[in-house]
Amino acid sequence: MLRQLRESLGEEAVITDSAALQARCHDRSGTPAPGMPLAVVRPTSTDDVSTVLRMAYEHGISVVPQGALTGLAGGANALPGSILLDLTAMSAIVRIDPVDLVAVVQPGVVTADLAAAAAARGLFYAPDPASATESTIGGNVATNAGGMRCVKYGVTRDAVRSLEIVLANGDVVRTAPPTVKKVGGLDLTSLIVGCEGTLAVVTEVTVGLLPAPGPVRGITASFDSRDAALDAANEIMVRPHRPSTLEFMDETVIGATVAYDPAAGLPTAAKGWLLVLTDSELQGADDIADYVSVAREHGAMMIDTATDPERVDELLKARRLLNPAMHELRGDSLNEDVSVPRSRLPELMTRLDELSADCGLPIGTAGHVGDGNLHPVICFDPDDPEQTRVAHQTHERVLALASELGGTVTGEHGIGLEKLSAVDTELGPRVRDLQRGIKQVLDPSGILNPGKKF
């Protein structure tokens, strides 16, 4: 099959060098790859992808779609004897349409590059995952990536209008027309978004764009009580002044971030910290006044207003230091991605405190408090086998806690390999059987990213 692939795609498209294979074996989750792949294949067109899948289907060889490998759940990790389908060379922005307000892109386009191209036309691509400067649109689609602007604009699925996909046998289909409204069939587009490459390979994405928003500005508020910060966030969400970003850090994350980067400018005495931003063109000043009022009502120790772009960028960068700062605390970390109803956030945080005390490891939490999607991070010393064992055991307990509180084990990172043990509990046997039945219809031979998601 490798010989046939080289004849069809060219010698340079099929890579079997062991060092190159090793470099593509796993994402940033720290989840080990189950085995070494057969080859990395780098298609440059939909026809190439179709050829690869048709041959893999005929030979019964599994295919793992990959992008920039910025994922945090092992969803793109190599499988033994698999083809790693590296889609990063398919990186063309096919067109930006300012009338229909859509962009058509290949899966290897970097998220920030699409946002910049849209902005150059006076338009706005709303999804903004933390990895936007590295992650690809195809990877965002695979995991239904979220980010800081979800609280106002929704997740990747809310921006996707239509997909061109290649099925397991090599057939190429389009999931839907690119219109805003469409009820002519079942919503195959939304089914593929978030499937982590287990149902089809995405080769072209049509996304909706928006008119450019107003300038981003807002406040930070520091509290001497974590619950006060959470209560303030919940009140902001039920008032008319909907923020475009509403982020939270707890005391542990604040301390780790200050230690990692003292220039981040975070308040070292705070037990809870909120970042509240608006991008409203017409009522931005009223939004900020409302956020200040709510913060004061809930006893904020300090409120800072950020109205210039440089200051806003500094605050966003500080929030994005969550993972590296917590990783540095002990030398390694497990980055959770749980989401619960906002009314259960105080209980979630209290239970995480109990878990931390029980396991003897620091657990710091930050994230998208406006939609209930938080990222508890368990820190441990990777050179200490006992800490490593306890950290992974605590990881399972955090996932179980999310389900217990009526939430989900993943708001935006996906299931991959890392969370397979927890998804059965969350969804139950009947729903899991239904999902496996859909997998069987679209991928009857089970070659697309097997052992992940399902």
The answer to whether residue 289 is domain-embedded is: yes
CATH number of domain containing 38: 3.30.43.10
Residue 108 sits at φ, ψ, to 5 deg, of -85, 0
Residue at which a domain ends, from 177, 211, 245: 211
Q: What is the mean pLDDT of residues 396-420?
A: 96
* Phi-psi region at 135: left, alpha or beta (left = phi > 0; alpha = psi -120 to 50): beta
Nearest to 54 by CA among 17, 8, 90: 8
The answer to whether residue 427 is domain-embedded is: no
What does the alpha-carbon distance between residue 415 and residue 432 come to, in Å, rounded to a whole number? 13
* 322 and 227 part of one domain: yes
Residue 136 sits at φ, ψ, to 5 deg, of -100, 160
Judge whether residue 155 has pLDDT over 90. yes
* 105 and 66 part of one domain: no
| Residue 318 neighbours by CB under 8 Å, 6+ apart | 257, 261, 264, 265, 266
The answer to whether residue 414 is domain-embedded is: no
Nearest to 70 by CA among 102, 112, 124, 117: 112
Q: Helix, strand or coil for residue 439?
A: helix
Percentage with pLDDT > 70 across the chain: 100
* 326 and 393 part of one domain: yes
Q: Which residues pair with 174 in a beta bridge?
A: 164
Judge whether residue 135 has pLDDT over 90. yes
* 278 and 379 part of one domain: yes
Mean pLDDT, the chain, rounded, equals: 97
* 174 and 226 part of one domain: no
Q: In what order do the strands lie in the sheet with 83-86?
A: 14-15, 39-41, 83-86, 63-66
Residue at which a domain ends, from 55, 86, 117: 86
Please tell me what DSSP assigns to residue 176.
Answer: S
* 221 and 284 part of one domain: yes
* 43 and 107 part of one domain: no
Judge whether residue 325 has pLDDT over 90. yes
Q: What is the mean pLDDT of residues 60-88?
A: 98
Per the CB < 8 A criterion, the answer to whether 77 and 421 are in contact is no
Number of domains in the chain: 3
Q: Tell me the pLDDT tens digit for each residue of 32-41.
A: 999 999 999 9
Q: What is the mean pLDDT of residues 142-156?
A: 97
The answer to whether residue 438 is domain-embedded is: no
What does the alpha-carbon distance between residue 139 and residue 156 come to, in Å, rounded to a whole number? 10
Q: Tell me the pLDDT tens digit for each residue of 340-397.
A: 999 999 999 999 999 999 999 999 999 999 999 999 999 999 999 999 999 999 999 9
* 193 and 68 part of one domain: no
The answer to whether residue 451 is domain-embedded is: no
CATH number of domain containing 352: 3.40.462.10
Q: Tell me the pLDDT tens digit for each residue of 156-174.
A: 999 999 999 999 999 999 9
CATH number of domain containing 137: 3.30.465.10
Nearest to 103 by CA among 81, 85, 125, 134: 125
Q: Show the domain range for 221.
A: 217-404
Alpha-carbon distance values, 410 to 166, 374, 378 (Å): 26, 10, 16
Q: Which residues pair with 15 in a beta bridge?
A: 40
The answer to whether residue 398 is domain-embedded is: yes
Please tell me what DSSP assigns to residue 31.
Answer: P
State residue 413's pLDDT score.
96
Q: Helix, strand or coil for residue 101?
A: coil
Q: Tell me the pLDDT tens digit for each residue of 206-244.
A: 999 999 999 999 999 999 999 999 999 999 999 999 999
Residue at which a domain ends, from 64, 86, 108: 86
* 39 and 111 part of one domain: no
* 294 and 324 part of one domain: yes
* 43 and 156 part of one domain: no
Neighbours of 424 (CB within 10 A): 11
Q: What is the mean pLDDT of residues 52-58?
A: 98
307: amino acid identity, one letter = T
195: amino acid identity, one letter = C
Q: What is the mean pLDDT of residues 301-321?
A: 94
> Which pLDDT band, with edges at 50, 70 and 90, does 30 fall under?
confident
The answer to whether residue 114 is domain-embedded is: yes
Report the range of poorest mean pLDDT among 99-108, 189-198, 337-346, 416-425. 416-425
Count CA atoms closer than 13 A to 264's CA, side-chain side: 22
What does the alpha-carbon distance between residue 264 and residue 220 come to, in Å, rounded to a whole number? 13
The answer to whether residue 131 is domain-embedded is: yes
* 372 and 282 part of one domain: yes
What does the alpha-carbon distance between residue 35 and residue 238 come to, in Å, rounded to a whole number? 48
What does the alpha-carbon distance between residue 22 and residue 280 come to, in Å, rounded to a whole number? 46
Judge whether residue 421 has pLDDT over 90. no
Q: Helix, strand or coil for residue 303?
A: strand
